[in-house]
Every structure is written in C-alpha cells, then in structure tokens.
Amino acid sequence: MLLIPTIATANPKPGDARISTSNRPLVAEPLHTAERWIQAGARRLHVADVDGVTAGKSAGADVIRALVQAHPGIALQVSGAVRDGQAVEKYLAAGAEYVMLDAKAARTPHLINDLCLEFPGHILLAMEARHGKVAADGGSKLAQQSALDAATHFQREGVAGIVLRLTDAERSRDDYDGAQSLAQALTIPVLVNGGLNSLEAVASFCRRGAALGGAVLDAGFAAAAAGFSEVMRLAEHPPAAE
C-alpha cells in the first residue's frame, strides 16, 4: 500500500521577508519537507499547489522543478486548479509524474478524455464521496450519482487512478468499506484522501484498506514525519482488521 505525504506550496506574498531576491518562488521549505519525508521512506509525494487553487491557475511549476532536481528518484503528483491541457503540460514538463484533476473538470465536455489521450498514464481524478454518492454541487452532472458509476466512467475515459476524498467528518467504517468496494470493482488504483492526519487515523485506514492502492496523507500530518517509518510499517504489514 502506497502512503503519500502532502506538501503544500505557495509563493511568498508581498512584504514577506523571505521573498527571494531573484523574484522566484520560495522553494526552501518544500525542499526541506520533502527531504524529511524521503529520508523517512516515502516513495511518492503529493504537491498541493495552494496558489494554483486560490488564483485559479497553475502556479507551482518552479517548486515541482526544484523538487525533481533535488530528488530525481521520487515520484510527484500535483494538484491545483488544473482545468486545461496547458496547466497539465506545465506541471508534467516541470517533472511531475501525475497531475490530478478535480470533478469540476468534468463540466467541460470531453476534457478528461482529451487530456487522458494527450497525456496517457499521467492523469488522476479526484472525487468526493459521501455514503456511496458523488458529493458535488447541484450544478454538476455528477451530483448524487453513484460513486461507482462515476469512477467506472472515468476509468473508461482513461484516467490512471482515482483519488477518493471521504467527506464524512467521522470517517465511518461504511466510507472505508465503500472505498474498498470501489477499488475492487475497478482496474485502476484507488487512493483515499481525507482525515488521515495522525498515526492513529493511518493505522485505522491500514486495517480497513487492504484493497486500496494507498492514501494521500493530509498536509497536517507533516508534524508527525518523525514517525513515518512506523506508518510505513503499518502500510506494508497491516494489523489485523478490527
């Protein structure tokens, strides 16, 4: 099972004393964080382009490039406001292995299929699910659609994997069991995201998620990086199911 720590990146804001004199994004902190995770055993990192989300366009390519140059053996997946082929190409050209779209991309007809054809094997799709249904706003054609039906459709479109965000605040057993059922029904990997911000939460996930491809750990889990070797042990040798 693959456990993927998250690194959140953002450009320094005007007035930030840490701004580089070369007017380039600040990358020292993401590089330091990545090094800690890699030394602890991480094989893939999730880079959350915070500026991309807030600005509505990809903004973290320089950070991706710096991470790849510093750690050429690590696989990177990146999320942000990825809405078109230009954004995907920018991240992949910087060295990302995977680019994650969100369900809003499905609003544009044929976009996901077109991107999968243009960048085969590199497109992941993030979905939110609640009680087996896609959690989307009322304007989305995915709203209240079966998560299995939606994921099966996107598998046919050519995505390389599904990142399933569990929106139930209590992360119930039903949610984990539903994610496992989804993974068993698909041929592409299913990763879980949401609520995995502590060793206890990850241990619970490992007990329940044997069929899953892995999990994206919350950015808040960075504080527990020193214990990541224990987390990896749990992933590779899950404790007995509850």
Give the tens place of pLDDT for each residue, 52-84: 555 555 557 888 999 999 999 899 999 987 878
At 166-190, the pLDDT tens digits run: 765 455 555 777 888 899 999 999 9
SS3 163: strand
Q: Is residue 241 part of a domain?
A: no
Residue 190 token pair: 């299913």
Residue 177, domain member (yes or no): yes
User: Considering the domain boundaries, does residue 17 fall inside one?
Assistant: no
d(CA 67, CA 196): 24
pLDDT value for 152: 94
Q: Would you say residue 153 lies in a domain? A: yes
CATH number at residue 72: 3.20.20.70
Range of the domain at 210: 2-12+24-236
Task: Say what the pLDDT of residue 17 is.
Answer: 44
With respect to residue 8, please indicate whether it lies within any of the assigned structural domains. yes
- What pLDDT sits at residue 212? 87
Residue 228 lies in a domain: yes
Q: Note the pTM of the prediction, 2 decimals.
A: 0.84
* Ramachandran category for residue 155: left, alpha or beta (phi over 0 → left; psi -120 to 50 → alpha): alpha
Q: Are 116 and 157 in contact (CB under 8 A)?
A: yes
The reply to whether 19 falls in a domain is: no
Residue ranges for the chain with pLDDT beneath 50: 12, 14-25, 138-139, 169
Residue with tokens 């399933």: 164
- The answer to the question of residue 18 being in a domain is no
